[in-house]
Amino acid sequence: MPLKNVLKYDEEITDTISDHYAQIIGEVGEDVTRDGLLKTPVRAAKAMQFLTQGYEMSAENILRSAMFAEDYSEMVIVKDIEFYSLCEHHMLPFFGKAHVAYIPDGYIVGLSKIPRVIEVFARRLQVQERLTDQILQSIHATLQPLGVAVVIEARHMCMMMRGVQKQSSVTTTSAFTGAFKSERTRNEFLKLITSSLH
C-alpha cells in the first residue's frame, strides 16, 4: 500500500542526486551518454527519493488520524503485509511480509493505518531488526494498548545477489510488548499468523 501515488520531487535535490548517479555510472565503466543511460541518473534520483520518503512521514500522526474509542480488548491482527525496503549496509532491497497485532485498551485504529505505519519505516535506509522495533514502538507509544506484537519475514538481496549468494534464505525478526510477553498470548498470535483461516 503506497504512501503516495504521486511524489513531488524537489528539482534541486533531484539534480544533485542525478549528478552523483551519473558519476557512479561512469566510474563503473559505462558511458552515461549512450541512449539507454541518458535518463537513468534522473530516474535513479527520483527512485531513491521515492524509496526513502519515509523520512518525511510520521507514523504517530498516521495512527492518530484514525484512532477510535472502543470497548474492545481482544487481539487484532493484520498479517501478510507486503513491504519493500533498502538495506543501509549495501543499499540493496530487502522485502517480505510483516505481521502485526495489538490488544486494544480503550482505542482501536483504522486497519489500513497499520500497513501505512510499516511503509513509513520501510521507506528509509534500514536494517530488519530496527524496522521491527520501530513499528512496535510507534504503535505501542501512540495507541497505548495492552500489548503489541510484530513479526517480519524477509529476503535480503545483499545475501542473494552478493556475499554468500543464498537465494532461499529467509530472515525472521520479532518484537513483543505487554500482554504478548506472556507465552500463552504470544503463542496464540504465532499460531494465528501461520494458519490459513480463509
Catalytic positions, written as ranges: 87-90, 128, 156, 158
Contact (CB, 8 A) for 132 and 97: no
Among candidates 83, 91, 89, 11, which has minimal Cα distance to 48? 91
CB neighbour burial string for 39-63, b if at least 16 within 10 angstroms, e if fewer: ebbbebbbebbebebbeebebeebb
**Which residues, in sequence order, are bridge partners of residue 108?**
68
